Amino acid sequence: MPNKYLLLFLFISALLTGCFENDTLTEPQIVTDGETLDLRLFEYTDLDLYTYFNDSLVTNTLSTFTLGHHQDNYRGTINASPYLQFGITSSTQVEDEAKLDSTVLVLFYETYHYDTLPGFDVNVYELLEKLEVDDDDNIYSYQSFDYNATPIGTQAMRVVPHRDSLTITLSQDFSQMLFEQGKGKNSIFKSTDDLEEVFKGLVLQTLDNSPLVSFTESSYIGFYYRIPSDLDEGNKILKLSVENGSGKFTHLDIDRNSQFYTSPETYQNIPIDESDGVIMADQIMGASIRMELPNIHELLEIADDYFITSASLRLPLKPNTYDRYFNTPITTVNVWIVDKKNLFLYNLGSATLTSWDEQFQEKTFYEIPIKGFIDYKLAQDIHNEDALWISVPSSTGITTSGLMLSSISDEQKIKIDITFLPLN
């Protein structure tokens, strides 16, 4: 090495020795190639990490509705109960001589989550008030509306994957009452408005451990009836569909007490050291991740003489909290910059799962480019409290895919890998 490069090497080494005394900064690797000097700094670990739980999941705008009761060691307990209004598929006046045979609720599967083997009872209740939206046309998952506590249908069920639906027989007395009001000139089956004057809808519940099952808007109530004098073969059917109704939403009762979270508060930043070293992102639990850089001055000192060419945040998934069947990890996350109140400032895009290792569960992780966030923080006042935010993307239905993230070992830990180049 020529003397001038040796002196430059020693000078930069001495300079960086003073900059990297903090345990969160590793010693830099120095690579020389001719007249090019390349400095690399790895593993910035001075991070403050939090889980934030939000109760405000809007569920009336989703294309599906969800039923089920699930409990596990990682999330806690989830109880999903749909509230459904029904509408007329076509204007109908039932013949006066018509005789009702049976009435069924047909629920078409969209998808299901967790173990489908256990059987479970489904209770069906009559909704007693119309579903009211707020000024933004939203109904949130924590809301509920009045319903009759006496079931009008109860049935033992099991999800059978090769079938396309669940079918529940409704009470004959309740069904007959509605059916009779569908006769004559004042038939409640003339329009959805006429129907909802008498019949507000249904509420479904299960208290047994079961999968979480999402159903489509094509689900319907079917009235099977016949005309005694009619020579045509077979029964007639009158359908009231969810799709033609005025609204629907899924109510969620969630107990977040689990192996990692004990009595977690919503709308609070929960530090990682209060959740057994885990942070969480999950749609159904309302969980997102906040990351702060408490000692940004460490990077500021380096930035006076060096240029950050790349920065990536590594987030390993905690072993034994995921698999491809019952606890599938979310494959894409959204990345934001938020202020101290967790209000969105800037969108930094999305990131996909970088590595998948289901067999040994040692190298499943996200590697999220965050140079834009580092540059943003370096350009702010040293006391700026803006942070990085990681959340699950919105979807057309309720999804149970999520992330349990934690450091695993010295090799697989939560960190930021940063690459520096000298300015001169």
> Are residues 1 and 9 in contact, defined by beta-carbon separation less than 8 angstroms?
yes
Q: Which residue has the higher pLDDT, 385 or 17?
A: 385
Tell me the backbone φ, ψ of residue 352, rounded to 5 degrees: -110, 160
Q: What letter would DSSP give residue 362?
A: S
pLDDT at 369 over 60: yes
pLDDT band at 39 (very low <50, low <70, confident <90, very high): low
Q: To the nearest 10°, the Cα dihedral for 312, 354, 277, 395?
A: 110
First to last CA, the chain: 19
pLDDT at 15 over 50: no
Q: Residues with Cβ < 8 Å from 135, sequence gap 6 or more?
A: none
pLDDT at 231 over 70: no
Strands (DSSP E) contained in 158-285 are: 165-169, 202-205, 212-216, 220-226, 236-241, 248-255, 269-271, 279-282
Q: Give me the chain's average pLDDT, please.
A: 88
Q: Residues with Cβ < 8 Å from 212, sequence gap 6 or more?
A: 66, 67, 68, 70, 78, 80, 112, 113, 114, 284, 398, 400
pLDDT of residue 257: 94
pLDDT band at 299 (very low <50, low <70, confident <90, very high): confident
pLDDT at 288 over 50: yes
Q: How far is CA 49 from the centre of its chain?
A: 20
- SS3 label, residue 274: helix
Q: What is the rounded average pLDDT of the residues 261-279?
A: 95
pLDDT digits 0-9 by tens, 64-98: 999 999 988 888 999 999 999 999 987 778 889 89
Number of neighbouring beta carbons within 10 Å of residue 231: 5
pLDDT at 408 over 80: yes
pLDDT band at 28 (very low <50, low <70, confident <90, very high): low
**Per residue in 27-66, is it b (16+ CB within 10 Å) or e — as a string?**
ebeeeeeeeebebbbeebebbebbbbbeeebbbbebebbb
What token pair was written down for 365?
């992780």
Least trusted range by pLDDT, from 33-37, 137-141, 243-247, 359-363: 33-37
pLDDT band at 14 (very low <50, low <70, confident <90, very high): very low
Name the burial class of residue 228, with classes exposed (0-12), middle (13-18) and buried (19+) by CB atoms within 10 angstroms of its CB: exposed
pLDDT of residue 318: 96
For the chain, percent of residues with pLDDT exceeding 70: 89
Q: Which residue has the higher pLDDT, 19 or 218?
A: 218
For the chain, percent of residues with pLDDT exceeding 90: 66
Domain ranges for the chain: 3-53+259-422, 64-246
pLDDT digits 0-9 by tens, 306-349: 788 889 999 999 999 998 888 899 999 999 999 999 999 999 99
pLDDT of residue 241: 97
Residue of 286, 114, 327, 86 whose CA lies nearest to 213: 114
- SS3 label, residue 12: helix
Torsion sign across C-alpha atoms 358, 361, 364, 365: positive
pLDDT of residue 234: 64
In angstroms, the CA 208 to CA 69 distance is: 6
pLDDT of residue 423: 74
pLDDT of residue 22: 44
> Which one-letter amino acid corresponds to residue 331?
T
Full DSSP string of 313-348: EEEEBPTTS--SSSSPBPSEEEEEEE-TT--EEEEE
Least trusted range by pLDDT, from 23-32, 64-73, 362-371: 23-32
pLDDT at 139 over 80: yes
pLDDT band at 35 (very low <50, low <70, confident <90, very high): low
pLDDT of residue 163: 86
> Are residues 76 and 255 in contact, defined by beta-carbon separation less than 8 angstroms?
yes
pLDDT at 217 over 50: yes
